[in-house]
Structure 1
Amino acid sequence: MEFFKDIIKNKKLIMQLGKNDFKNRFANTSLGAIWGFLQPFIFMLTYAIVFQFILKAGSGGDYPYAVWFFPGMTMWQWINDSIMSASNSIRTYSYLVKKVVFPVNIIPVISIVASSFVGLFLIVIATVICIIYGYMPNVLLLIYAIIAVYAFTIAFTRFTSAITTVVPDFSNLLGIAMQLFFWFTPIVWNLGMLADKPILLKIMKCTPFTYLITTFRQVFIDENIVFAGNGIYTIIFWIVTIILFIWGNSIFKRTRKDFADVL
């Protein structure tokens, strides 16, 4: 497919522009890119303190709350930042879109790469925290989780980046939707709370966000719901991701000819 050919052909350009994108987000600040790492970490730390010590939230298992919380929140921070930045990327890089020879296909991927710097940093932090508590990571499952995040965010933003370019207000709607997804996904609450609602529990297990959050948690702990090892949920996740990509790619191709006119 054209998309994958563009990715392979321009992989060095994607990495370079991704680095520049990340640096430019904090170009006018004294600490520069340090804010990119500091802000999400402080955000996560604040949530951990509030939910563990003030709201007395539990992990739903025999493991420390921090070991349960940080992997889940880390994954969400990465996913959310990737989706929001990539969805607005065509407008951000409007000057490139108007260049006839530039491969517009790779622009959302550039933003996803830029978000990866913080995402991978937070993964290191979460890993260190879990190791301090005595929970060692499953390296193979960690690699799988990272691949799954890239696959899903690329698939998801094929659609959202195209729509946001043509309909700018969609970015605000997407922001609201992501806030709702945050609270409806078991990030600060555990799936055990739905034990008496089996139908709702099954629906929650089938959502891509829940799958990714729980898979990354299982890099360190077992929540008694072995998502990565349970074929049905893994199959559902990849079917949804593939359908999203095919559909999103179709939307992207149909709207791409209008990008230069609306920017």
Structure 2
Amino acid sequence: MSLIKELYRNKGLILNLAKNDFKTKYAGSYLGVFWAFVQPVITVLIYWFVFQVGFKSAPIDDFPFVLWLVTGIVPWFFFSDAILNATNSLIEYSYLVKKVVFKISILPIVKIISALFVHVFFIGFTIFLYCLYGEIPTIHIIQVIYYSFCAFFLSLGMSYATASIIPFFKDFGQIINIFLQIGMWMTPIMWSYNMISPKYQWILKLNPMYYIAEGYRDTLINHIWFWERYNQTMYFWTISILIFGVGIFLFKKLKPHFSDVL
């Protein structure tokens, strides 16, 4: 609770730092922040070409494959971008970590909010794509706020843990990269979980990102409210709060030593 209060008291500073982080990431390039939006769109087009044109993937549940794909990949792009950037936040802002008066607990959330700017654009791009295909979103579209918050909270909890470890173990960043590569294929983003036997599907559902990816599809495709999946919702929040608690514990435990190793 003390951390949450600290983040709330510094919300203005967090937002300003997030905006500045987003801008400086592409400073010096001719197109600037435009690149932040181009990259995920190009990535989606590549996956669409490989799976639908190359492998000739059939519609999933009679739904256009490209729409089904982009709906699942939207939250994953945000999650992976947030984790990668927030993990290195203490190293990148080491000059602030060494300042006694600076609240370094805000650095991971700064990186996640910076990633959130692209996520909001990508949601708009997805809705635009749906409209082009004649699939007008229903009232369930408001759920995208809830599932975005789920991804935000999960990313924040994990990033407090990963950001705490990496100053002491620099190779941890490479482990995170491998973890995200495996996680992308273990999460049913580019393939339907119905492709495997029902008796093994519960293994996939242990992954909290399964809940979020399928939640976006429930919002835009299946038109199911999140409370209708109450078992998965309870499981997701139990795991996410546990991860958040562990992340905060590690951060507070290791915080006094950050300035010594950076």
Question: TM-score normalised to the size of structure 2?
Answer: 0.95
The answer to whether residue 189 in structure 2 is matched with residue 183 in structure 1 is no
| Deviation readout 1:55-102 (Å, 9 max, x if unpaired) | 122343111112211111111111110011001111111111011111
Aligned residue number for residue 93 of structure 1: 93
Deviation at 1:200, TM superposition (A): 2.1
Matched with 1:156 is 158
Equivalent-residue separation in structure 2 for 1:68 and 1:135 (angstroms): 14
TM-score if structure 1 supplies the norm length? 0.95
State the Cα distance separating 1:121 from its structure 2 match.
0.6
Q: List runs of 5+ in structure 1 lacking aligned partners.
A: none
Mapped to 2, the partners of 1:159 and 1:86 lie a distance apart of 10
The percentage of aligned residue pairs carrying the same residue is: 34
Q: Distance in 2 between matches of 1:69 and 1:58?
A: 12
Offset at residue 139 of structure 1 (A): 2.8
Query: Which residue is 2:73 aligned to?
Result: 73
Per-residue CA distance 1:98-153 (angstroms, 9 max, x = gap):
11111111100000011111111111101111122224142331111111111111
Asked if structure 2 preserves the Cα contact closer than 8 Å seen for 1:154 and 1:245, the reply is: yes
In the alignment, structure 1 residue 56 sits paired with structure 2 residue 50: no
AA paired with 1:69? L
Equivalent residue, structure 2, for 1:136: 137
Equivalences, count: 260
Q: Which residue of 2 aligns with 1:6?
A: 6
CA RMSD of aligned residues (A): 1.5
The alpha carbon displacement at 1:16 in A equals 0.6
Q: Which amino acid aligns with 1:166?
A: F
> 2:176 maps to what in 1?
174
Question: Residue 246 of structure 2 aligns with which residue?
Answer: 247
CA distances 1:6-43 after superposition (whole Å, capped 9, x unpaired): 11001011111001111111112111111111111111
Matched residue SS, 2:145: helix
1:48 Cα shift? Answer: 1.3
Partner of 1:28: 28
Q: Which runs of 5+ in 2 are unaligned?
A: none
